[in-house]
């Protein structure tokens, strides 16, 4: 990353980090601890990074001059607020998701439900979302509307996953709808927030939202593949198999000509016993569906990158391009 851009991004993300804890502080000691539990456990801060880079894309009509890397101090504060909104929304959704998945571990520490119980985890998720709502109010009505739509999309995606495809649904289309709702929506909103704060013109803002949506798809597809191929840092492996959720490699089994593959697909969908999980994981890990999944993830990342073509040719745009490659390579 360009040095000046790198410094600016680091400065913004450092402020986000401090404020994340300050914003959720509570005078009730137990709530204070529970609210900071997953925030303090770390995380990639992928969504704040995306807000920041999109917010530093620069003036649509300017050359890629170094001076453009540093935003006006007011828009810098707005970028920090927007980054807080998307990260708090994300963390809130993880508190709820871990209750739904009955997860034990998140970001390498006991999940909030494991440490404090389901009721507390749900309420603390609500509490974090309340703070995200408070902060987004300061950004204006358009941002509040987008945030509300994103919240609805997250819930819709999560419910669609929970319910599974109906008989008449194409399982692949259903899966993509789930991913678009539960993950790509908030990643698209992160890019959109950045673009709006940067003052990009309407077609560019729309391109940036499409970019975020496709990047979000690549990101979640990679996450789903990692759940099968490797013990990711801070997460248990095989969660989707345990839940009977068919993700990309499993859905590809169903498209195979081989009867053995189709039988494995049916077996996974029928629900696996705990002692079958390692055996099925091993079978999947050595299967060509893994290589095909990687190709599909790369295709989404490439499509995301292509959306950047009409955006100002600045160091931030180059960094966003790199982010696409990194999102895809996570799963390789």
In the complex, the residues that contact ligand FPP under the rule CB under 6 A are 89, 92-93, 96-97, 101, 125, 129, 151, 154-155, 158, 182-183, 223, 235, 239
240 binding Mg ion? (CB under 5 A): no
In the complex with ligand FPP, the residue whose CB is nearer, 75 or 239, is 239
Contact indicator for 233, 108 with CB cutoff of 8 Å: yes
**Min. distance of Cβ 90 from ligand FPP in angstroms?**
7
101 binding Mg ion? (CB under 5 A): yes
**Min. distance of Cβ 150 from Mg ion in angstroms?**
18
In the complex with Mg ion, the residue whose CB is nearer, 121 or 191, is 121
**Min. distance of Cβ 311 from ligand FPP in angstroms?**
26
92 makes contact, choosing from Mg ion, ligand FPP, none, with CB < 5 to 8 Å by partner type, with ligand FPP
In the complex with Mg ion, the residue whose CB is nearer, 8 or 161, is 161
In the complex with ligand FPP, the residue whose CB is nearer, 81 or 223, is 223
**Min. distance of Cβ 128 from ligand FPP in angstroms?**
8
In the complex with ligand FPP, the residue whose CB is nearer, 100 or 318, is 100
Between CA 88 and CA 311 the distance in angstroms is 28
**Min. distance of Cβ 125 from ligand FPP in angstroms?**
5
Which has the closest alpha carbon to 247: 271, 267, 220?
A: 220
Which has the closest alpha carbon to 128: 117, 118, 140, 120?
A: 120
183 makes contact, choosing from Mg ion, ligand FPP, none, with CB < 5 to 8 Å by partner type, with ligand FPP
Between CA 1 and CA 9 the distance in angstroms is 10
97 binding Mg ion? (CB under 5 A): yes
In the complex with Mg ion, the residue whose CB is nearer, 5 or 186, is 186
261 binding Mg ion? (CB under 5 A): no
Cβ partners under 8 Å of residue 48, min gap 6 = 12, 13, 16, 83, 84, 86, 87, 190
**Min. distance of Cβ 241 from ligand FPP in angstroms?**
12
Helix (H, G, I), strand (E, B) or coil at 1: coil
- SS3 percent helix, strand, coil of the chain, rounded to 5, is 75, 0, 25
Q: What is the DSSP string of 6-51?
A: HHHHHHHHHHHHHHHHHHH--SSHHHHHHHHHHHHT----HHHHHH
Contact indicator for 239, 101 with CB cutoff of 8 Å: yes
192-202 burial by CB neighbour count: b if 16+ within 10 A, else e? bbbbbbbbbee
Give me the residues that bind Mg ion (CB under 5 A), please: 97, 101
């Amino acid at each position: 990353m360009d040095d000046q851009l790198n410094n600016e991004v680091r400065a913004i993300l450092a402020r986000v980090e401090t404020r994340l804890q300050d914003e959720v502080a509570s005078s009730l000691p137990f709530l204070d601890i529970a609210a900071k539990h997953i925030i303090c456990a770390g995380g990639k801060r992928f969504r704040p990074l995306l807000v920041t880079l999109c917010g530093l894309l620069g003036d649509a009509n300017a050359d890629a001059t170094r001076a453009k890397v540093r935003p006006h101090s007011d828009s810098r504060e707005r970028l920090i607020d927007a980054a807080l909104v998307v990260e708090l929304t994300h963390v809130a959704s993880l508190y709820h998701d871990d209750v739904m998945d009955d997860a034990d571990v998140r970001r390498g520490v006991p999940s909030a439900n494991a440490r404090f119980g389901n009721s507390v985890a749900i309420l603390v998720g609500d509490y974090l979302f309340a703070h995200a709502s408070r902060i987004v109010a300061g950004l204006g009505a358009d941002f509040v509307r987008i945030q509300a739509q994103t919240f609805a999309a997250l819930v819709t995606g999560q419910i669609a996953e929970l319910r599974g495809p109906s008989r008449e649904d194409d399982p692949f289309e259903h899966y993509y709808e789930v991913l678009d709702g539960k993950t790509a929506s908030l990643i698209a909103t992160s890019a959109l927030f950045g673009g709006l704060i940067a003052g990009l013109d309407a077609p560019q803002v729309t391109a940036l939202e499409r970019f975020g949506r496709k990047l979000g798809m690549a990101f979640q597809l990679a996450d789903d593949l990692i759940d099968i191929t490797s013990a990711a840092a801070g997460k248990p492996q095989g969660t989707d198999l345990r839940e009977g959720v068919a993700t990309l490699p499993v859905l590809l089994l169903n498209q195979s000509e081989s009867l053995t593959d189709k039988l494995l697909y049916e077996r996974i969908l029928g629900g696996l016993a705990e002692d079958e999980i390692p055996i099925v994981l091993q079978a999947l890990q050595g299967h060509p569906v893994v290589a095909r999944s990687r190709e599909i993830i790369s295709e989404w990342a490439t499509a995301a990158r292509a959306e950047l073509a009409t955006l100002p040719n600045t160091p931030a745009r180059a960094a966003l391009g790199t982010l696409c490659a990194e999102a895809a390579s996570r799963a390789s």
